[in-house]
C-alpha cells in the first residue's frame, strides 16, 4: 500500500480550451507517475463517500480489485495490512486482495471517498462508465462519445435514476445516519426495527416478481435475485430483538403493498426498473452509509457489495429489449422513488422517535374481513403463504 499526497502533484492553472479561464486548485492524478501507473485505462468504477467520527472504525475488508482512498477532510488511520496515518489530501493506493479499513482521527474524524477499480478487457461490453481519469488522460483530446452519438434509452434511464439517488442522499434518513445522533443505542435500535419491517416486505416483493414474471430471461434473473436475498431479513433480525420494535407501520405497509401490487400489474420492463433501479439503488446508498453506525455487522457490508451487482442484472436485461418505450419506464421510476422515499421517511421518523411514528401490531393481526375488503392486503396474505419458507 502506498500513500501519495496531492501536494506532490503539479496544479493545472487554466483550461487548454480557453487560457483565460482560470481554475481553482485543480490537479490531475495522472500527472503523478505512481498514480498514473496504478490507474487502469478502462475499469468498472465504484465510488462511496465515507464519514467517520473520532475513533469510529470502518472495519477492514479484502478488495477483489484495486482500491483507492482519497481523504478529503480531517485525519485518521488506515487499518489493515499496512496501517498508517492519513490526512486531508492523501491518496491511498490499496492493491488487489489488500485489507482496506479506516478509523477517524482526533479531533473531528475524517471524510473520504472510497474508490474500487476493476480492470476490464477493452473489448468486453461494459454496463457502467469508464474511469474518469482514463478519459482525462487521453493526449489527443478525442471524445469517443461524440455529441452526435445517440444515447440508448436505458442509459438515459440510468442518468435519471442517478438524479433520484442523489436527491435521496440528502433525505432526512440519510442526514440522520450521518449525524452523531445515529450512534445512540436507542436510535440504532429503532432504526433496525423499522428496517426490519421493510426487509420482511421486500422478501414478498421478490416472491411476487417470481410469481408474476413471464419473460424467460426475466424469470431467470428474478429467481437468481430471490436466491441471493433469501433469508436476509432473518440476518437483520439477529442484530436486534424484534420483540422490542414495532412489527408494523402504516406508512411502510402501504408503500410495501404498492410494490407488491405493481409486481402483478406492471410490465416486465417496469418490474425491472422498480426492483433493480429503484429499490437496489436506494439500498446501495442507504446500507453503504449505515455501515458507519453498524461497523461490526456484515449485513450492511454484504449488501453494499451485492446491490451494485443486482443493479447490473437489471441493466443488462433492459439492454436486451429492443424499442423500449421510455414514457412508462420513467413513470415507474418516478413513482418507485416516491414510494421508497415514503418508506425511508417513516424509517427516519421511527428511528428519531417522533411521537406516534409507528403503530405496533403483531404479525397476522389483520382480520379475514379486513383482508377481503383490501385487495393489496389480500395479495400480501397470499404471498405470506408462498413466502413461508423465505420469511
In contact, 63 and 100? CB cutoff 8 Å: yes
Q: Say whether both 176 and 38 belong to one domain.
A: no
CB of 101 closer than 8 Å to CB of 57: yes
Is 391 inside any structural domain?
no
pLDDT grade for 94, boundaries at 50, 70 and 90: confident
**Cβ-count burial of 115 within 10 angstroms (0-12 exposed, 13-18 middle, 19+ buried)?**
buried
* Statement to judge: residues 66 and 157 lie in one domain: no
pLDDT for res 335? 97
What pTM was computed for the model?
0.60
Residue 188's CATH number: 1.20.910.10
Name the domain boundary from 136, 169, 198. 136
Same domain, 92 and 53: yes
Domain count, the chain: 2
Q: What is the CATH number of the domain that holds 26?
A: 2.60.120.10
What span, in angstroms and rounded, lies between the C-alpha atoms of 78 and 60?
9
Task: Say yes or no: 256 and 168 in one domain.
Answer: yes
How many C-beta neighbours within 10 Å does residue 384 have?
A: 17
Residues 128 and 175 in one domain: no
Residue 145 lies in a domain: no
Instruction: Give pLDDT, residue 248.
Output: 86
Q: What pLDDT is attached to residue 133? A: 34
CA–CA distances in Å: residue 391 to residues 197, 252, 309, 387: 12, 17, 23, 6
Same domain, residue pair 33 and 157? no
Cβ atoms 201, 207 nearer than 8 A? no
Q: Of the candidates 68, 114, 71, 117, which has an alpha carbon nearest to the alpha carbon of residue 94?
A: 68
Residue 142 lies in a domain: no
Instruction: Verify that 40 and 178 share a domain, yes or no.
Output: no
Looking at the domain assignment, is residue 143 inside a domain? Answer: no
Indicate whether 101 and 189 sit together in one domain.
Answer: no
Residue 114 shares a structural domain with residue 263: no
Q: Are the C-beta atoms of residues 390 and 207 closer than 8 Å to each other?
A: yes
Residue 40, pLDDT score: 81
360 vs 305, higher pLDDT: 305
CB 390 within 8 A of CB 210: no
What is the model's pLDDT at position 282? 93
What's the CA gap between 283 and 308, in Å, rounded? 10
Q: Do residues 185 and 114 both lie within one domain?
A: no
Residues 381 and 253 in one domain: yes
Instruction: Give the residue among 112, 63, 116, 117 at the shortest CA–CA distance from 91.
Output: 112
pLDDT band at 128 (very low <50, low <70, confident <90, very high): very low
Residue 60: pLDDT band with limits 50, 70, 90: confident
Half-sphere CA count of 205, side-chain side, radius 13 A: 28
List, for residues 111-120, the tens digit of each pLDDT value: 888 888 876 5
Reported as a single tens digit per residue, the pLDDT across 164-204 is 998 999 999 999 999 999 999 999 999 999 999 999 999 99
pLDDT of residue 120: 57
Q: Residue 319: pLDDT above 70?
A: yes
Residue 148 lies in a domain: no
Over residues 268-296, the pLDDT tens digits come to 999 999 999 999 999 988 988 898 898 88
Tell me which residue has cell 463517500: 49
Domain containing 130: what range?
2-136
Q: What is the largest CA-CA distance in the chain?
A: 74
Burial of residue 78, with CB atoms counted within 10 A of its CB: 0-12 exposed, 13-18 middle, 19 or more buried: buried
Least confident of 68-77, 104-113, 270-279, 370-379: 370-379
pLDDT of residue 221: 96
- Please check whether residue 220 lies inside any domain of the structure: yes
> What pLDDT sits at residue 134?
33
Computed over every residue of the chain, the mean pLDDT equals 79
Task: State mean pLDDT over 102-130.
Answer: 69
Q: Is 115 helix (H, G, I), strand (E, B) or coil?
A: strand
Q: Considering 73, 108, 136, which residue would you say is the last residue of a domain?
A: 136
* Residue 260 covered by a domain: yes
- Distance (Å, rounded) from C-alpha 351 to C-alpha 295? 18
Whole-number percent of the chain with pLDDT over 70: 74
Asked if the structure places residue 147 within a domain, the reply is no
Q: Which residue, of 86, 108, 136, is where some domain finishes?
A: 136
For residue 299, pLDDT over 70 is answered with: yes
In this structure, the answer to whether residues 170 and 284 fall within a common structural domain is: yes
Amino acid at each position: 500500500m502506498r500513500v501519495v499526497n496531492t501536494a506532490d502533484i503539479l496544479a493545472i492553472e487554466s483550461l487548454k480550451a480557453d487560457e483565460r479561464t482560470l481554475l481553482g486548485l485543480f490537479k490531475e492524478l495522472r500527472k503523478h507517475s505512481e498514480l498514473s501507473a496504478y490507474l487502469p485505462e478502462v475499469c468498472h468504477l465504484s465510488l462511496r463517500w465515507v464519514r467517520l467520527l473520532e475513533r469510529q472504525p470502518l472495519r477492514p475488508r479484502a478488495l477483489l480489485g484495486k482500491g483507492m482512498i482519497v481523504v478529503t477532510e480531517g485525519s485518521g488511520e488506515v487499518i489493515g495490512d499496512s496501517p498508517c496515518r492519513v490526512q486531508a489530501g492523501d491518496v491511498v493506493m490499496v492493491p488487489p486482495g489488500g485489507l482496506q479499513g479506516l478509523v477517524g482521527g482526533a479531533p473531528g474524524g475524517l471524510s473520504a471517498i472510497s474508490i474500487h477499480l476493476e480492470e476490464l478487457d477493452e473489448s468486453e461490453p461494459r454496463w457502467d462508465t469508464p474511469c474518469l481519469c482514463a478519459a482525462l488522460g487521453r493526449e489527443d483530446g478525442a471524445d469517443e462519445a461524440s455529441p452526435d452519438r445517440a444515447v440508448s434509452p436505458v442509459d438515459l434511464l440510468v442518468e435519471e435514476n442517478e438524479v433520484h439517488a442523489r436527491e435521496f442522499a440528502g433525505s432526512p434518513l440519510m442526514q440522520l445516519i450521518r449525524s452523531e445522533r445515529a450512534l445512540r443505542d436507542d436510535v440504532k435500535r429503532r432504526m433496525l426495527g423499522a428496517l426490519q419491517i421493510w426487509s420482511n416486505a421486500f422478501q414478498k416483493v421478490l416472491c411476487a416478481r417470481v410469481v408474476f414474471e413471464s419473460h424467460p430471461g426475466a424469470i431467470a434473473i428474478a429467481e437468481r435475485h430471490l436466491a441471493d436475498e433469501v433469508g436476509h431479513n432473518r440476518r437483520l433480525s439477529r442484530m436486534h430483538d424484534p420483540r422490542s420494535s414495532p412489527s408494523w407501520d402504516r406508512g411502510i405497509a402501504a408503500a410495501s403493498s404498492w410494490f407488491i401490487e405493481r409486481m402483478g400489474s406492471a410490465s416486465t420492463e417496469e418490474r425491472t426498473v422498480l426492483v433493480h433501479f429503484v429499490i437496489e439503488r436506494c439500498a446501495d446508498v442507504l446500507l453503504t452509509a449505515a455501515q458507519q453506525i453498524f461497523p461490526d455487522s456484515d449485513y450492511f457490508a454484504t449488501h453494499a457489495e451485492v446491490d451494485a451487482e443486482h443493479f447490473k442484472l437489471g441493466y443488462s436485461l433492459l439492454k436486451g429489449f429492443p424499442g423500449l418505450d421510455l414514457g412508462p419506464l420513467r413513470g415507474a421510476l418516478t413513482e418507485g422513488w416516491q414510494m421508497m422515499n415514503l418508506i425511508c421517511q417513516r424509517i427516519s421518523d421511527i428511528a428519531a422517535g417522533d411521537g406516534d411514528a409507528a403503530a405496533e401490531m403483531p404479525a397476522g393481526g389483520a382480520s379475514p374481513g379486513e383482508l377481503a375488503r383490501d385487495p393489496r392486503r389480500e395479495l400480501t396474505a397470499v404471498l405470506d403463504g408462498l413466502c413461508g419458507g423465505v420469511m
